[in-house]
Structure 1
Amino acid sequence: MRHVTRLWAALIIALAIGGVAIVVATSTGGLSWFDNADGELATNQDGAPGQLAPDVAGGSDLESVPSGEPGVFDDYILFGQSAAFSGPANELGINMRLGIKAAFQEVNQRGGVNGRQLELKFMDDAYEPEAAITNTKQLIEDGIFALIGAVGTPTSRSATPVAAEEGIPYVAPFTGAAFLRDPEWQNIVNLRASYNQETEEMVERLTEDLGIERIAVMYQDDSYGRAGYSGATSALARRGMEPVSVGLYPRNTLAVKTGLLDLRKGNPEAVIIIGAYQPVAALISWARFIGMDPIFMTVSFVGSNALAEELVSMELRSAGTGVFVTQVVPFPRDTSLPIVQSYHRALSDFAPAAEPGFVSFEGYLAGRLAIAALERCGRDVTRTCFLDIIRNEEPFELDGFEMRYGLDDNQGSDAVFLTVIGRDGTYHPISTLLESER
């Protein structure tokens, strides 16, 4: 009873300060928050991962009459997202969400999809697998239509069985893990190229462009890191090579020094890094500090903009010069591309202060893919129709960016792009590693 009294007191206080936030009780007894007036994320009182209430982009009535299909109502469709909104990978979740919401608002302002607005309910898993399971179960209980924009391999590995058991579409996770590309997962819809494809591009460019033979691998010690490590070692093995040294570090930490010392033992000419932006920045800065100067390459999951900003914030802009990052979406500032023009308009309209970036662009593409599939389903939207349309129908052409699926292919794009951090601390698109400013 005392807990209930405190809860209602919090509710009264929140309402009394002018509606800046609305406090609600979750099914587990914790506190959750709607977005504040500025659209910023809010957490529960102790700042721990927790539920974030529905984000209503089009002003729809949450008491709308359901159609019979979970998450589908007379005038809106509810998507769910469990992603990292706190912790060392928080920029990835925040920017995936930003892009998805920009796409949803774009279609909502045109009247929605076949008369229905699209809404997003999101929860913070802090890049922790256990929280991802809890969040996924809660979102399903809350009646979402589909999950979209999950962040990470370990979180996806834990959440996908829960989603699959309930037949929930699992759309555009921000990970290139191979297990998600298994066609036996009938509910998974991948947007991006795999880590195997990214690391193959790295090894091909290192060996063919620069003739490098001594390649080391540094990876995060979890399913994400091991997925990237497997891709890198397989790419090397196809050329009769193996890593000259290997280092690793614990997930969700910056404890990279031991792994760095292991790398140094092999005297590598190049290091492939499979990690998140904060530990990757720490690794590069420490390597420069101890006099190591190999070529550093990392995969798209690093969060390219966040990595560059992290290096700049550490006053190590020069340390980032010449760092290569493979990307799985086109360059987000190349406005010669119609899809990039559309992304810029949607992003500017939704969040005028936001800068274009690779992660929010991927989120935007995820939102556009979901919209395109729903449009093809017509008014009678079901999860089965949504998944069948994606897997069995013609390619999706999003303003010139094509995604093609099939019965045995749940990955829409195979494209891998090369970028490098220049002396100005920003990314530049390149075709070969010879274009580096090192």
Structure 2
Amino acid sequence: MTARILPSRFAAVFLALALGLSACSGAPSREEQAAHVPGVADDLVVVGSSLPLTGHASYLGQQTLFGALAYLNAVNDAGGVAGRRIKVLALDDGYDPPRCVANTQRLIVEDRVFCLFSYVGTPTTVKIIPMLEEAKVPLVGSFTGADALRTPFRRVIVNIRPSYYQETAAAVNHMVTDLGLDRVAVFYQYDAYGFDGLRGTEMALKSHGLAPVARGTYIRGTMDVEEGIARILEANPRAIVMIGTAGPCAKAIRLARAKGYDGLFYAVSFVGADEIARILGPDDGTPLLMSQVVPPPGLPESETPLSGVVEYATLTARYFPEQRPNLVGLEGFINAKVLVEGLRRCGRELTREGFLDAIESIQDFSVGIASPVSFARDRHQGLERVYFTRLEQGAFHLVTDWPDLRRAVGGAADKAGVN
């Protein structure tokens, strides 16, 4: 199904949009290229996306798409790239793997898209890997840090964000080294996404000679978190790692707080900072830490606002004035920048193999954040840096003072009687 399946208030946004593209080496003429390369015409390139625009993870899907389209619209309005416009076909999968598989099959076989772009979610995206490899269709910029999209190396998969293993490793290192926490539990969604985050946390803890003191789960698409969080609280953890979506994680936090737990909560980026902050409302003082793969505004390395953050906010205000800039949208925005840069480097004759060659030529490409994007023939992950934010007064802010957070966590642990 196409974007027309969306609720009417989203239909105008998620209908196919145009944006110009370049071409990669290989085709002998523009006419032959248009006839033989899927999704490519003389003045048009079609890319496809399957992502949750309804359901539990809809905030992530919608904001990823808003962010990407803010940049693509601007490029389109400026004349496109090398005389071509991009049409984005965005299909709703509701964060459901079978629907994602069906959408992807349609995009490849019926819609004949040039490439796939900005998928959202581990359980959905990992299911399409066989199709990508069989059809040799590039997938650029997924909103997931799943290891399965990185190992083994697959040329058709272009990751931009750091992995969940990197997020959880950095988080555990801060918990143990900077915060002095050695009793860590894991609350996770019972699917490929949750298993990936659990394994990453276990590996990180093992590197410090530790293991989770408890594990608790819930089923994807439900809010049935009571049993999982109760099992965790029985073990008296000092920190709870959360691998889930915003709604269930927020409910688990409220339940834990109601039972007297006031240690540290830590959530990976996929949870969605702005959405869980909205659900929880004003912060009640219990520490909630989140890793991020793009920087929030006000990064201390820069005395002036980061250009990419400013550009994202400006274009969001121009094209989607009802939307507030956020970390999820910024990631979609960066995904779109990398997609367009790869296409620009191709020249006029666009092929899938040439596009991948162009992506692999990107080195130290500035997308306007603290870290540049780089790829290589054997490395298809553009960014490596992980940031940390803390919920304070209803919003997430960059962590710059770990000793201060340690004092807050230590005080909470003492009051809870946790050793």
TM-score, normalisation: structure 2 = 0.88
**Residue 292 of structure 1: how far off its partner (Å):** 1.4
**Residue 117 of structure 1: how far off its partner (Å):** 1.5
1:209 is the counterpart of 2:178: yes
Q: Is the 8 A contact 2:263 2:287 kept in 1?
A: no
**Equivalent of 2:58, from 62, 78, 90?**
90
Give the match for residue 306 of structure 1: 275
Give the match for residue 416 of structure 2: none
**Residue 57 of structure 1: how far off its partner (Å):** 4.1
Distance 1:59 1:406 in 2: 25
**Residue 41 of structure 1: how far off its partner (Å):** 3.7
1:109 is the counterpart of 2:77: yes
Gaps of 5+ in 1: 1-25, 43-51
Which has the higher mean CA deviation after the structures are superposed, 395-404 or 127-136?
395-404
Counterpart residue identity of residue 303, structure 1: G
Deviation string 1:46-96 (CA, Å, 9 cap, x unpaired) is xxxxxx984234699xxx983531111121211111001111111000001
Give the match for residue 169 of structure 2: 200
Give the match for residue 416 of structure 1: 386
Counterpart residue identity of residue 138, structure 1: R
Counterpart residue identity of residue 174, structure 1: F
Counterpart residue identity of residue 289, structure 2: F
**Residue 434 of structure 1: how far off its partner (Å):** 3.3
Distance 1:78 1:433 in 2: 46
Deviation string 1:261-285 (CA, Å, 9 cap, x unpaired) is 1101210011111111110001001
Secondary structure at 2:345's aligned position in 1? helix
Which has the higher mean CA deviation after the structures are superposed, 68-77 or 300-309?
68-77
**Residue 376 of structure 1: how far off its partner (Å):** 0.3
Give the match for residue 390 of structure 1: 359
Distance 1:374 1:259 in 2: 46
**Equivalent of 1:125, from 69, 89, 93?**
93
Counterpart residue identity of residue 60, structure 2: L
1:406 is the counterpart of 2:376: yes
Secondary structure at 1:431's aligned position in 2? coil
Cα distance change on mapping 1:34 and 1:239 into 2, 3 Å: closer
What fraction of aligned residue pairs are identical, expressed as a percent? 36
1:274 is the counterpart of 2:235: no
Q: Is the 8 A contact 1:183 1:409 kept in 2?
A: no
Q: Is the 8 A contact 1:81 1:149 kept in 2?
A: yes
1:135 is the counterpart of 2:103: yes
1:161 is the counterpart of 2:122: no
Give the match for residue 220 of structure 2: 251
**Residue 333 of structure 1: how far off its partner (Å):** 6.2
1:318 is the counterpart of 2:283: yes
Aligned 1:289-300 pairs, distance under 5 A: 289-300=258-269
**Equivalent of 2:17, from 56, 71, 76?**
56
Secondary structure at 1:403's aligned position in 2? coil
Counterpart residue identity of residue 206, structure 1: M
Cα distance change on mapping 1:376 and 1:116 into 2, 3 Å: same
1:100 is the counterpart of 2:68: yes
1:375 is the counterpart of 2:336: no
**Residue 391 of structure 1: how far off its partner (Å):** 2.1
Cα distance change on mapping 1:264 and 1:349 into 2, 3 Å: same
Counterpart residue identity of residue 243, structure 2: I
Which has the higher mean CA deviation after the structures are superposed, 391-400 or 363-372?
391-400
**Residue 256 of structure 1: how far off its partner (Å):** 0.6
Q: Is the 8 A contact 1:332 1:356 kept in 2?
A: no
**Residue 286 of structure 1: how far off its partner (Å):** 0.7
1:70 is the counterpart of 2:43: no
Cα distance change on mapping 1:397 and 1:199 into 2, 3 Å: same
Counterpart residue identity of residue 103, structure 1: Y
Distance 2:351 2:336 in 1: 17
TM-score, normalisation: structure 1 = 0.84
Distance 1:286 1:147 in 2: 39
Secondary structure at 2:186's aligned position in 1? strand
Q: Is the 8 A contact 2:3 2:91 kept in 1?
A: no
Secondary structure at 1:119's aligned position in 2? strand
Counterpart residue identity of residue 223, structure 1: A
Secondary structure at 2:372's aligned position in 1? strand
Give the match for residue 142 of structure 2: 173
Distance 1:426 1:276 in 2: 17
Q: Is the 8 A contact 2:239 2:264 kept in 1?
A: yes
Cα distance change on mapping 1:82 and 1:332 into 2, 3 Å: farther
Aligned 1:175-194 pairs, distance under 5 A: 175-194=144-163
Higher relative contact order at CA 8 Å, sep ≥6: structure 1 or structure 2? 2
Distance 1:394 1:275 in 2: 33
Cα distance change on mapping 1:262 and 1:41 into 2, 3 Å: farther
Q: Is the 8 A contact 1:418 1:432 kept in 2?
A: no
Gaps of 5+ in 2: 22-29, 410-419
Give the match for residue 344 of structure 1: 313
Give the match for residue 256 of structure 2: 287
Secondary structure at 2:366's aligned position in 1? strand
Secondary structure at 2:252's aligned position in 1? helix
Which has the higher mean CA deviation after the structures are superposed, 67-76 or 407-416?
67-76
Secondary structure at 1:397's aligned position in 2? coil
Counterpart residue identity of residue 384, structure 1: E
Q: CA RMSD in A?
A: 2.4
Aligned residues: 391
Deviation string 1:348-392 (CA, Å, 9 cap, x unpaired) is 111122111010000000000000000000111111111111124
